[in-house]
Amino acid sequence: MNTTTTFLISFASAASLLAAQPDVGWLRVAPQNGVVPPANAGGVLTYEVQTLSTVLLTGGQTWLWDGRNWADSGASAAPNAVFGAARTFDFATNRIVVFGGQAEDGTFLDETWQWDGTDWAQVVTPFSPPARVAAALSYDSVTNQVVLFGGQGVQGQLLDDTWTFDGVNWTPQFPASSPSRRAGHAMADAFGVGVVMFGGTETGTPALDETWIWDGADWSVATTNSAPAPRYSAQLAYDFTNSRVLLFGGVLVPNPLVPQAVVLTGDLWQFDGTDWSEIEVDGDITELLGKSVAWDFVRDTMVAFEGALPISDVTWELQFTDEEEGRAYSIGNACGFFAASSLEIAAGTGPRLGSLLEFRARGVAPDPGIVYLALSLNETPPTPLTALGLQESCIGRVSFDNGLSLLAPSGVASLSLPIPQDFALLGFSFVTQALVFEPPIFALFGPARVTNALRVTIGT
């Protein structure tokens, strides 16, 4: 038995089980091969069935995530939009459809592009919706077409037009009822219910909380007993396993009289076709807010990729577990001088009896960067780490009394914990967080950075 396993068992033997935690939380996932897409703000994610991968379109590049590794697709072309494009997966043609957006020079686009699992191709149509950004696009299982609504036009005007796309041509629709002009709304197909739209912003109302449903021919307002708070730039995705639409995050406007004073939120809601209800999510994931997400309907998880500073290449997955499954959730944010370091769990590993659990701390100066990985039985109250010389915004979530020191070759420190098939460990929970020491700072002042924390529960 190696020393890390012995450390874990001795650590567990003195502990009682922690109180039950929510069964949903976000986890930072480290690709097994260590390869990550480049940092670019404005990247968008869509899941597609040709490669059974989450497709990331960012900075003119296309990357594929299969749940374990990122790979450059090698695509020879890409949509010209770098911001504000609408996208969806078209189940009728098995292609991702991207429309509109803003080019690098600021031009609003009216281009339609398709991804066939190998490469992008622009679709030239006889008719097209006018150029726009911040529209919403969704597959419609009633008509087996893609439906587009709204957005912001080239003159800054908000739009309220509805279009459908059959894979070849765009057709304007003239429904008897229609949502108001808006941008920044979200849409997703609730198979058997219709296309669900939520939120957005309209002239005079910085954030909306309306739920609309497109039945293939007309729009109607869904009257619900509860609903998410008014917001724009939320993300909607359909959970096939549980037959529900999931809403994640968005931008709140607490005071409509001060629309520039916005708040990013990371709440999670579900819509069953009749009403909304909130899902409690474990952990504080403010670094993830405002990012694009996609639903991986093969692995039943929501995937997100962080493509902007301060942490520019983190892959996130939303974990749904029951009481007996092992789980690991991210808590809080990374913080420190010059850059940020992320504490993650390697894809394909996890806190399960008889398996390997691998922690990775990324974003460390190689040789002689040192990572001190603390292990604590309980999450401590959030504490500013000013006593360690870090900024007040750098928050400790654990006691740093017990831990291990690790070297960081190639900028990554890793710790592998083989978890024995010992049922005495079932349900055991602990929290881990890392301090990063780099020259010349650690020789003079102390740690350069602190990572996020991870809450881990061992299961079967």
- Amino acid 108: pLDDT: 97
Please name which of 294, 288, 293 lies closest in space to residue 308, comparing C-alpha atoms: 288
CATH architecture of 3-22+326-457: Sandwich (2.60)
- Amino acid 1: pLDDT: 46
> Could you tell me which residues come within 8 angstroms of residue 68 by beta carbon, excluding any fewer than 6 positions away?
31, 32, 347, 348
> Kindly report the CA angle at 425 between 423 and 429, in degrees rounded to 5?
145
What H or E segment, with its residue span, contains residue 366? none
pLDDT in tens, the chain (460 residues): 454 555 555 554 444 444 444 578 888 899 999 888 876 666 788 999 888 999 999 878 899 999 999 999 999 999 999 889 999 999 999 999 999 999 999 999 999 999 999 999 999 999 999 999 999 999 999 999 999 999 999 999 999 999 999 999 999 999 999 999 999 999 999 998 999 999 999 988 899 999 999 999 999 999 999 999 999 999 999 998 899 999 998 988 887 777 778 888 888 999 999 999 999 887 666 666 667 789 998 888 999 887 554 445 788 898 887 656 788 889 888 888 877 789 999 998 989 999 999 999 988 876 668 899 999 988 899 999 999 888 898 999 999 988 999 988 888 999 999 999 988 888 888 999 999 998 766 556 678 889 999 999 998 8
- Amino acid 307: pLDDT: 59
Instruction: Indicate if the alpha-carbon torsion angle 54, 56, 62, 66 is positive or negative.
Output: negative
CATH architecture of 39-311: 6 Propeller (2.120)
Distance (Å) of CA 147 to CA 99, 164, 194, 215, 450: 11, 4, 11, 11, 45
Alpha carbon distance 366, 335 (integer Å): 18
Q: How close are the terminal C-alpha atoms of the chain, in Å?
A: 20
Strands of 199-292, DSSP E? 211-214, 219-221, 235-239, 244-252, 263-271, 276-279
Other beta carbons within 10 Å of 92: 15
- Amino acid 204: pLDDT: 83
pTM of the predicted structure, to 2 decimals:
0.86
Where along the chain do its domains lie? 3-22+326-457, 39-311
Q: Are 215 and 175 in contact (CB under 8 A)?
A: no
- Amino acid 284: pLDDT: 60
**39-311: same fold as 3-22+326-457?**
no
Please name which of 253, 270, 84 lies closest in space to residue 184, comparing C-alpha atoms: 84
Alpha carbon distance 390, 433 (integer Å): 15
Alpha carbon distance 427, 114 (integer Å): 46
